[in-house]
């Protein structure tokens, strides 16, 4: 049996691997979006993810059956995941990846506010203050992006909101559905959500919602979207099984650094000074929020 220290070290390693690989989803998406619509990129992300996850679930002999409640939540989870993915792909068609990701990183603050105002969770003034400061940081990133790209700069907020709901729904499902099976279900429901939306976009002439058929190297970029999404999220899923979420949460901000690196390497994009200030505020607020949640947890446990 793996000792606790070794287990935590493995969890940290897997989380760092996630942070290193996850930006490659965005790089592949941005490359693919040079030829196909944002809706097409979103659809193929789930198709490839499903094709990659199905043999894994079958090999592990994991149960597919769920309660009616779990199926409903799973479908809703797939819908908000598709919304989150589409908004981000549509944003990074024109925006630098690092800027869009920085804005999307307000997601923990949205979860906090939803918990406080809609779920009646107890949230102290310090954590609420951290959330407000985090949103102010996002404005520093949005402002220069908005002046250059217009309303597209607001799309990462849709990503943040969708992913916040995705996390909250995942918490409801985690006790009932195996995390690996959950990845397959996300792929299946995401595909089912995307197909009618793309059909509507095609019929109504909305370019970014319509279906585009890829050619040549763009098939590789679309496969990369699904492959890197599957590998990175599997790594994160298992990381949470080896190490506490409170230990792994601060490491997530490493994704900002790796995202900036790949964005510069592939597209020569680099955040301007005002965006860096906003990124610093968001990261600092997020780390403080994690610290306050740890303090609250220790008080609740009587330590």
What is the mean pLDDT, run by run of 10 residues, along the chain of 303 residues?
64 90 96 95 96 93 86 92 95 92 87 79 80 86 82 92 87 81 91 94 87 92 95 85 74 87 93 89 85 72 61
pLDDT at 105: 86
Task: Give the number of residues written for the chain.
Answer: 303
For the residues of 46-95, what is the DSSP string, one character each?
HHHHHHHHHHHHHHHT------HHHHHHHHHHHHHHHHHHHHHHHHHTTS
Q: What is the pTM of this model?
A: 0.88
pLDDT at res. 112? 82
Structure tokens at 88: 């981000």
Calculate the alpha carbon distances from 289 to 215, 292, 297 in Å.
45, 5, 12
Residue 49: CB atoms within 10 A of its CB come to 25
Tell me if 227 sits within 8 A of 235, measured CB to CB. no
pLDDT of residue 1: 43
Which three-class secondary structure state does DSSP give residue 85?
helix
Contact between 29 and 223 under an 8 Å Cβ cutoff? The reply is no
HSE (side-chain half, CA atoms, 13 Å) at 22: 24
Q: What is the pLDDT of residue 301?
A: 64
The whole-angstrom separation of Cα 269 and Cα 98 is 8
> Alpha helices of 105-178 — where are they, by DSSP H?
107-117, 125-149, 155-173
Determine the structural domain holding residue 215 and report its residue range.
4-301
CB-count exposure of residue 99 (10 Å: 0-12, 13-18, 19+) = buried
Total structural domains within the chain: 1
- Confidence at residue 51, expressed as pLDDT on a 0 to 100 scale: 95
- pLDDT value at position 5? 55
Among the listed residues 176, 254, 300, the one whose alpha carbon sits nearest the alpha carbon of residue 12: 254
CA atoms within 13 A on the CB side of 56: 16
Distance CA 291, CA 227 (A): 33
Q: Are 180 and 60 in contact (CB under 8 A)?
A: yes
């Amino acid at each position: 049996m793996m000792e606790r220290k070794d287990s935590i070290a493995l969890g940290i390693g897997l989380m760092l691997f996630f942070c290193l690989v996850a930006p490659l989803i965005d790089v592949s998406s941005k490359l693919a979006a040079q030829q196909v619509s944002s809706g097409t990129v979103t659809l193929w992300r789930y198709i490839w993810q499903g094709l990659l996850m199905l043999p894994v679930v079958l090999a592990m002999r994991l149960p597919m059956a769920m309660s009616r409640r779990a199926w409903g939540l799973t479908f809703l989870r797939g819908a908000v995941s598709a919304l989150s993915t589409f908004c981000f792909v549509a944003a990074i068609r024109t925006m630098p990846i690092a800027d869009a990701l920085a804005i999307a990183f307000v997601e923990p603050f949205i979860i906090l506010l939803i918990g406080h105002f809609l779920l009646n969770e107890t949230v102290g003034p310090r954590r609420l203050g951290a959330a407000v400061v985090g949103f102010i940081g996002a404005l520093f990133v949005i402002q220069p992006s908005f002046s250059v790209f217009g309303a597209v700069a607001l799309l990462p907020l849709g990503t943040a909101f969708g992913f916040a709901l995705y996390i909250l729904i995942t918490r409801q499902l985690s006790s009932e559905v195996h995390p690996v099976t959950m990845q397959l279900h996300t792929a299946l429901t995401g595909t089912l959500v995307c197909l009618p939306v793309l059909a509507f976009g095609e019929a109504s002439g909305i370019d970014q919602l319509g279906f585009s058929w890829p050619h040549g190297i763009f098939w590789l970029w679309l496969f990369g979207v699904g492959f890197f999404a599957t590998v990175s999220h599997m790594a994160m899923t298992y990381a949470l099984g080896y190490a506490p979420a409170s230990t792994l949460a601060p490491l997530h901000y490493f994704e900002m650094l790796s995202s900036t690196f790949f964005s510069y390497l592939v597209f020569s994009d680099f955040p301007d000074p005002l965006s860096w200030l906003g990124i610093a505020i968001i990261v600092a607020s997020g780390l403080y929020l994690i610290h306050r949640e740890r303090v609250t947890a220790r008080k609740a446990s009587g330590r």
